[in-house]
Amino acid sequence: MAAYHPYHPTLYTAPRTPCFSGSSSLGQTVHNVITARVSRKQSVKAAIDCGTKLSAWTNVRREHWEGDLAVEGHLPAWLNGTYLRNGPGLWDVGEHSFHHIFDGYATLVRISFRRGRATGAHRHIESEAYKAAMVNGRPHHREFSQLCPRRPGSLLDRLRNVIGLSSGTMLSDNANISVFPLGDGRVICLTETTKSSVLVDPETLDTIGKFRYADRLWGPLQSTHPVVTRTEFLTLLPDLFRRGHRVVRMAAGSNERKVLGRVHCRGGMTPGWVHSFAVTEKYIIVPEMPLRYSVTGVLKSELTPWYIFDWVPESGSYMHVICRLTGKTVASVEVPLFMALHFINAYEQREDDGDRTGVLIADCCEYYADPSIIKALALHRLRSPGINKDTFPDARVARFRIPLDGTPVGELETVLDPDVHGRGVELCSINPAYQGKEYRYVYACGAQRPCNFFNSLTKIDLVKKEAKNWYEAGSVPSEPFFVARPGGTDEDDGVVISIVSTTQDEGYALLLDAASFEEIARVRFPYGLPYGFHGCWIPKKI
């Protein structure tokens, strides 16, 4: 029986697919735990709820797989390197089923391209949270929507939870959201707890160990979306008690973060959730939206209506601008209410644009000031497409104009008609050479209606305000990741890689030519893959 969860309309047990043969001993434990307690009744219920064999919301079948991948189409000869993608891949352990997509244990997928051929692999990240769950047959740490497994009954239990949560020992280190090659060659996986920073081997997908920060900066939370370049790692550390964020910088090759500056949130009692932020060449732009951390919720081990956040529209929305050189806040403006997880890019408006001098542009995937995307990502909703036919929240590409001349308010506008990308836009990428600079193209997931999740890929031309879409009924493609052709000069000279899960239980990497947005190849795994979030590209050194 799945654990009680306040947001379960009905208890749901995920489809538990049969496993291949075992690998490591920990892997063997995983298999046993996953498969041991599957009853026929549970599988039948899952199949009915799901209505399909969509692997996107289904536990990956084994802990580890590695092998050659079948290539359909033609891989560009220049594409030499490794695409790595992070995301959840295991939502059920023993009798316990997680409720939310963000709770699943991290699963890395690798596709390596070499002279027109491809090999692939997947592996779970061996976090403490994952290992403890495997050994105990149930979760042992606080995940995004999963409270501390010890539900506070007595005052002593409550006290233990408060201590465990504020010291971080009970927080999860399940690094299931993003993956980045650092400037020094190390590869790091992250989620929003500081202890989740994990180093992995991009070839074997082995978990090497924790990334240990060699500084005394205390704080259990960090951004999942640092800005990583060849020379630095810029991130935010939310400060729940002093209502702000520290802006920190770590030089490539170092483990020591240094505080560059501080953002003071202006609305509400706690800082706004910053899932990602944007940079220009000179500035760091930190958004403050009214989805705020619920400090009491986390400490009291209670879920709020928004899991770990409160939606406080009356507290307003703001954009804060920090100078990259001095760390000083150079602007802090009120903006229209918004809800965005992913910032696409930002830049300083060119001086020759006349009266626009002194304006920053910041683009994001915005949900019309409605946080319900967070609830739309609950697993029971994703797994019931029939019931939740067209309930997916609308999103648009929204552009902030942030004045630097002391004007107290900024503007927010819709960049293009959202119908052209299906009224959904999320999980975006751009040509990284254009980060912080004026740019034209965005690659993102779109949502062709009716749907209960992103189901298409879109290339958006911000200048012509047009989009080209890739859509196949029954397919769920993940973040389209842009890989530039070495030596290419056009912004869209390269390929876009996305991993697709289908209702036919297929899993493949789709390669689109970034300029035409036409399909050039499918690289097939021999099994369906669970959904994933963010990827990265590690070029092969020749």
Ligand X SMILES: CC(/C=C/C=O)=C\C=C\O
Which residues belong to the annotated binding site for Fe cation?
Answer: 225, 275, 342, 534
Residue 311 binds to ligand X (criterion: CB under 6 A): no
Query: Which residues within the stretch 154-173 sit at the binding site for ligand LXCDBUCW (CB under 6 A)?
Result: 171-172
Token reading at 523: 């690289």
Query: Which residues within the stretch 220-239 sit at the binding site for ligand X (CB under 6 A)?
Result: 224
Query: Which residues within the stretch 380-399 sit at the binding site for ligand LXCDBUCW (CB under 6 A)?
Result: none
CB of 176 to ligand X, least distance (A): 9
Q: Which of 426, 491, 492, 506 binds ligand X (CB under 6 A)?
A: 426
CB of 397 to ligand X, least distance (A): 15
Nearer to ligand LXCDBUCW among residue 324 and residue 380 (C-beta) = 380
Residue 437 binds to ligand LXCDBUCW (criterion: CB under 6 A): no
What is d(CA 177, CA 38) in angstroms, rounded to the nearest whole number? 28
Query: Which residues within the stretch 138-177 sit at the binding site for ligand X (CB under 6 A)?
Result: 177
Nearer to ligand LXCDBUCW among residue 171 and residue 198 (C-beta) = 171
Residue 536 binds to ligand X (criterion: CB under 6 A): no
Are 391 and 452 contacting, i.e. CB atoms less than 8 angstroms apart?
Answer: yes
Q: Is 84 exposed, middle or buried (0-12, 13-18, 19+ CB in 10 A)?
A: buried
Query: Which residues within the stretch 298-327 sit at the binding site for ligand LXCDBUCW (CB under 6 A)?
Result: 298, 308
Can the peptide bond before residue 450 be classed as cis, meaning omega within 30 degrees of 0? yes
Length of the chain: 542
CB of 52 to ligand X, least distance (A): 18
Residue 192 binds to ligand LXCDBUCW (criterion: CB under 6 A): yes
Residue 224 binds to ligand LXCDBUCW (criterion: CB under 6 A): yes
Binding residues: 225, 275, 342, 534
What is d(CA 49, CA 453) in angstroms, rounded to the nearest whole number? 16
Q: What is the DSSP string of 440-500?
A: -EEEEEE-PSS-SS--EEEEEETTTTEEEEEE-TTEEE---EEEEPTT--STT-EEEEEEE
Which one of ligand X, ligand LXCDBUCW, none interacts with residue 270, CB within 5 to 8 A by kind?
A: none
Burial 159-185 (b: 16+ CB within 10 A, else e): ebbbebbbebebbbbbbbbbbbbbbee
Residue 414: closest CA among 468, 364, 340, 345? 364
SS3 (DSSP) at 128: helix
Which one of ligand X, ligand LXCDBUCW, none interacts with residue 144, CB within 5 to 8 A by kind?
A: ligand LXCDBUCW
What is d(CA 297, CA 240) in angstroms, rounded to the nearest whole number? 12
Residue 395: closest CA among 346, 439, 435, 445? 445
What is d(CA 362, CA 516) in angstroms, rounded to the nearest whole number? 26
State the pairing for strand pair 425-429/456-461: unpaired
Instruction: Answer positive or negative: Cα dihedral of 435, 440, 445, 446.
Output: positive
CB of 458 to ligand LXCDBUCW, least distance (A): 21
CB of 161 to ligand LXCDBUCW, least distance (A): 12
Interface with ligand X (CB under 6 A), residue total: 9
Nearer to ligand LXCDBUCW among residue 80 and residue 136 (C-beta) = 136
Contact flags string 82-111 toward ligand LXCDBUCW, x per CB under 6 A: --------------------x---------
Q: Which of 191, 197, 280, 332 binds ligand LXCDBUCW (CB under 6 A)?
A: 191
Question: From the centroid of its chain, how far is CA 435?
Answer: 18
Q: Is 136 exposed, middle or buried (0-12, 13-18, 19+ CB in 10 A)?
A: middle
Are 175 and 197 contacting, i.e. CB atoms less than 8 angstroms apart?
Answer: yes
Which one of ligand LXCDBUCW, ligand X, none interacts with residue 366, CB within 5 to 8 A by kind?
A: none
CB of 308 to ligand X, least distance (A): 14
Which one of ligand X, ligand LXCDBUCW, none interacts with residue 426, CB within 5 to 8 A by kind?
A: ligand X
Q: What are phi and psi of 196, to 5 degrees?
A: -80, -5
CB of 371 to ligand LXCDBUCW, least distance (A): 12
Instruction: Answer positive or negative: Cα dihedral of 210, 211, 213, 219.
Output: negative
CB of 149 to ligand LXCDBUCW, least distance (A): 12
Q: How far apart are the first and last CA of the chain?
A: 53
What is d(CA 173, CA 43) in angstroms, rounded to the nearest whole number? 30
Which one of ligand X, ligand LXCDBUCW, none interacts with residue 264, CB within 5 to 8 A by kind?
A: none
Interface with ligand LXCDBUCW (CB under 6 A), residue total: 14
- DSSP state, 276? B
State the pairing for strand pair 227-228/207-210: unpaired
Query: Which residues within the stretch 312-371 sit at the binding site for ligand X (CB under 6 A)?
Result: 341
- The CB-nearest residue to ligand LXCDBUCW is 224
Are 368 and 339 contacting, i.e. CB atoms less than 8 angstroms apart?
Answer: yes
CB of 101 to ligand X, least distance (A): 7
Nearer to ligand X among residue 470 and residue 533 (C-beta) = 533
Q: Which residues contact ligand X by CB under 6 A?
A: 177, 224, 341, 377, 426-427, 454, 533-534
Give the interface with ligand LXCDBUCW as residue ranges (CB under 6 A): 102, 142-144, 171-172, 177, 191-193, 224, 275, 298, 308
